[in-house]
Structure 1
Amino acid sequence: MSKKFILGVGFTFIIAIVSILLSNLPILNKVGALAIAIITAILYRHFKGYPTQIESGVVFSSKKLLRLAIILYGLKLNLSTIVNEGGTLLLLDVGVVTFVIFFIILLNKIIKGDKDLVLLLGVGTGVCGAAAIAAISPILKSKESDVGISVGLVAIMGTIFSLTYTLLYALFPMDPEVYGIWSGASLHEIAHVILAADAGGTEALSIGLLTKLGRVFLLIPLSIIFLVIVNRKKSNKVSQKIDFPYFLIGFLVMSAINTFVPIPESVLNVISTFTTLILIMAMVGIGLNVSFNDIKAKAFKPMIAMAITSIVLSVITFFITSIL
């Protein structure tokens, strides 16, 4: 390992740790370490430029650590719980993911926004935020700048919505189960569901996480669907190599292990903390590839499409969950 490689990985590690510490402060604890890390990396790129001297380590964090984080993310998923206890919720989740992706693409087409970016935003909004974007982006051959922008926007948008949900619950009390399902079916990241649903108590949080994990589960078939579509769009050369994101197999294996192998809660907590850390490090590396010019040129219209989609999704899922 070269010194530049170690310094590059260390650089993303330091910003990740600082982001985690900042996320414990008042106000910033509502934003989350992921969004703080992305914003910090973008600001660093803007004022200091891309750190080319330690690029090898930064690239390692943005690519290799990202894939490792996605693999370990599978340990958050219990396949049997979702299938056995959340059949109705899983159907709701299928409708949510399908609606979000098609609706945001339609809106973006009307306002003529960036197609590549809006697809990542649709997957992030419909499925599970940064994890979904990170899993789908290699299949779509997305630029790292697009990945960074979409992750940052989904993180910030999800934070705004989760805080809004908490406020609405305080002003207009509703059945905790309804509130939990609504949060799990419509909010962007698992962290956003926890932030919002926790206001409704244990019942709301439990059902909210079950609903959200159904959407995480759908990342597996959705990835396969995108893989098939992308490869069909390529040239019809029989000898053409099919690019498969093999780390998704790791994600599925980890999900199966968590489903069928008893793992102590303390071990899962340690792995979860490690997963969060390397995911934030990966986001730092990705954020360093984002410039404000990219955001101004590409992100405004897709961001509008995502905001409208998120609002419509919230309204529709609220009425659906009210009658379930």
Structure 2
Amino acid sequence: MFPAGVLPVGWRLRAHGILLALALALAASFAAHYLGALRSGDSPLFLSPVFCAIILGMAWRNCVGVSAGVNEGVQWITQTLLRVGIALVGLRLTLHGLTTLGLLAIPVVVGCILTALGASYLLGRWLNIASPLRSLIAVGTAVCGCTAVVAVSPAVRAKPEETGLALTCVVLFGSLGMLVYPWLAHTLFSAEGQAAGIFLGTSIHDTSQVIGASLIYSQQFGAPETVATAGFTKLLRNLSLLVLVPVLCTLYRERTERADKPKKHFANWRTALPSFLIWFMLLAVARTVGDAVFVDSSLADAWRGAVSVGLSASELFLVCGMAAVGLSVSLKHVQQLGWRAPLAALLVALSVAVVSLGLTAGVGALS
């Protein structure tokens, strides 16, 4: 499709996957717009473009199939373009908002992490699941999805198949939560976009899934603050990895009485806090400074325009990224997992969701 010399080699390899994800994203946007045009009165025909993009991506992957030549482009979107979109979400936040939000979100984050660790231990023992796999399910559910699984895997000396199983569970149940929890949040929290953001930010596994769910909520129910709230709440969860990995490393080293060098298994700040989340924070700082500096100046309109462009780009990248996420979900792999580990991962995820709902409601009542 792309002759030699038209594109660099790396981009020629990615082009087919990028074009497929972009086409699905455009189709999703058109579908959402079409349904919105059909809406009359209070008829709930509207579906967010992000939701449509995920569904179309999953349908294409499992009904049509994805060739090896498409995978590289899909991976580039999920690993690069999607993360740029997440970073740009930081433009929705200010430092004042972060301070207030942190006081509300931290108790919920701590409660959910403790719930995931305890539930994984008890359910894992009940279902006779190996200790390393229990730990991977716990941190994948409680902290930051795939990033946590990869970071903790060497610390708990997990086998490659255990790591792969945990990653599959994170993708599967995180994706289900991404599609279902926005409606649950709206049912329970009504128009409280901040409460919905805290719930979505603590109950869904991976960062991309959290942002996808919060964007669905934002688009579906007109609550733009939900995206930034969910992103910051997820950032707080990621930071806990700086504590959990050294603790797990120490526990497993003492249990197995091995003489490995502990520094090999400790997560550094780059592992716990990926660069796109650092940019998320920096852009929140930039938004705060820009709002203060330009609010009464001749550049106020230019500043607001720049912020608007950044937010529009973020939404475009996220819709395209969610189509790529859908293209990455293979239902065939689910059939090969057995039942013990997926059952444990599902029950842990549901336990965390229940605790998150309770704590979020409680914190909201106190604020």
Same fold (TM over 0.5): yes
* Cα distance, 1:212 vs structure 2: 4.5
Q: If the length of structure 2 is used for normalisation, what is the TM-score?
A: 0.63
- Output the amino acid matched with 1:47: C
| Equivalent residue number for residue 173 of structure 1 | none
| Equivalent residue number for residue 270 of structure 1 | 309
Contact 1:45–1:288 (CA<8 Å) still a contact in 2? yes
Aligned Cα root-mean-square deviation (Å): 4.1
In structure 2, C-alpha distance between the alignment counterparts of 1:28 and 1:303, rounded to whole Å: 30
Task: List runs of 5+ in structure 2 lacking aligned partners.
Answer: 1-7, 37-43, 154-162, 202-209, 254-258, 292-302
Alignment deviations for residues 126-152 of structure 1 (CA, whole Å, 9 cap, x no partner):
xxxxxx546546535765645542441
Matched ranges for 1:176-191 at <5 A: 179=192, 182-188=195-201, 189=210, 190-191=214-215
Q: For the pair shown, which has the larger CA radius of gyration, 1 or 2?
A: 2
Contact 2:92–2:228 (CA<8 Å) still a contact in 1? no
| Equivalent residue number for residue 57 of structure 1 | 73
Say whether 1:21 aligns with 2:30. yes
1:294 alignment partner, one of 317, 321, 333: 333
Say whether 1:139 aligns with 2:148. no
* Cα distance, 1:65 vs structure 2: 2.5
Matched ranges for 1:37-186 at <5 A: 37-83=53-99, 85-86=100-101, 88-102=103-117, 104-106=119-121, 108-109=123-124, 112=127, 115=134, 116=136, 119-123=139-143, 132-133=144-145, 136=148, 139-140=151-152, 143=164, 145-146=168-169, 148-165=171-188, 169=190, 179=192, 182-186=195-199
In structure 1, C-alpha distance between the alignment counterparts of 2:24 and 2:317, rounded to whole Å: 11
Q: If the length of structure 1 is used for normalisation, what is the TM-score?
A: 0.70
- Output the amino acid matched with 2:282: A
Say whether 1:256 aligns with 2:282. yes
- Report the 3-state secondary structure (helix = DSSP H, G, I; strand = E; otherwise coil) of the residue aligned with 2:240: helix
Contact 2:116–2:142 (CA<8 Å) still a contact in 1? yes
In structure 2, C-alpha distance between the alignment counterparts of 1:55 and 1:28, rounded to whole Å: 33
Contact 2:13–2:73 (CA<8 Å) still a contact in 1? yes
- Output the amino acid matched with 1:156: L
Contact 2:61–2:327 (CA<8 Å) still a contact in 1? yes
* Cα distance, 1:218 vs structure 2: 0.7
C-alpha distance 29-133 of structure 1, shift in aligned 2 (>3 A): farther
Q: Which moved more, 1:104-113 or 1:255-264?
A: 104-113
2:357 alignment partner, one of 306, 310, 314: 314
In structure 2, C-alpha distance between the alignment counterparts of 1:111 and 1:37, rounded to whole Å: 38
| Equivalent residue number for residue 324 of structure 2 | 285
In structure 2, C-alpha distance between the alignment counterparts of 1:159 and 1:107, rounded to whole Å: 29
- Report the 3-state secondary structure (helix = DSSP H, G, I; strand = E; otherwise coil) of the residue aligned with 2:290: coil
- Report the 3-state secondary structure (helix = DSSP H, G, I; strand = E; otherwise coil) of the residue aligned with 2:356: helix
Residues paired across the two proteins, number: 298
In structure 2, C-alpha distance between the alignment counterparts of 1:322 and 1:41, rounded to whole Å: 39
* Cα distance, 1:215 vs structure 2: 1.4
- Percentage of identical aligned residues: 15
- Output the amino acid matched with 1:50: V
Contact 2:109–2:237 (CA<8 Å) still a contact in 1? no
Alignment deviations for residues 42-99 of structure 1 (CA, whole Å, 9 cap, x no partner):
322222223212332222223232443343344344344322x346324434434434
C-alpha distance 87-117 of structure 1, shift in aligned 2 (>3 A): closer
- Report the 3-state secondary structure (helix = DSSP H, G, I; strand = E; otherwise coil) of the residue aligned with 1:262: helix
| Equivalent residue number for residue 299 of structure 2 | none
- Output the amino acid matched with 1:105: S
Contact 1:62–1:282 (CA<8 Å) still a contact in 2? yes
Q: Which moved more, 1:264-273 or 1:225-234?
A: 225-234
Task: List runs of 5+ in structure 1 lacking aligned partners.
Answer: 124-131, 170-175, 200-204
Contact 2:24–2:323 (CA<8 Å) still a contact in 1? yes
In structure 1, C-alpha distance between the alignment counterparts of 2:45 and 2:347, rounded to whole Å: 24
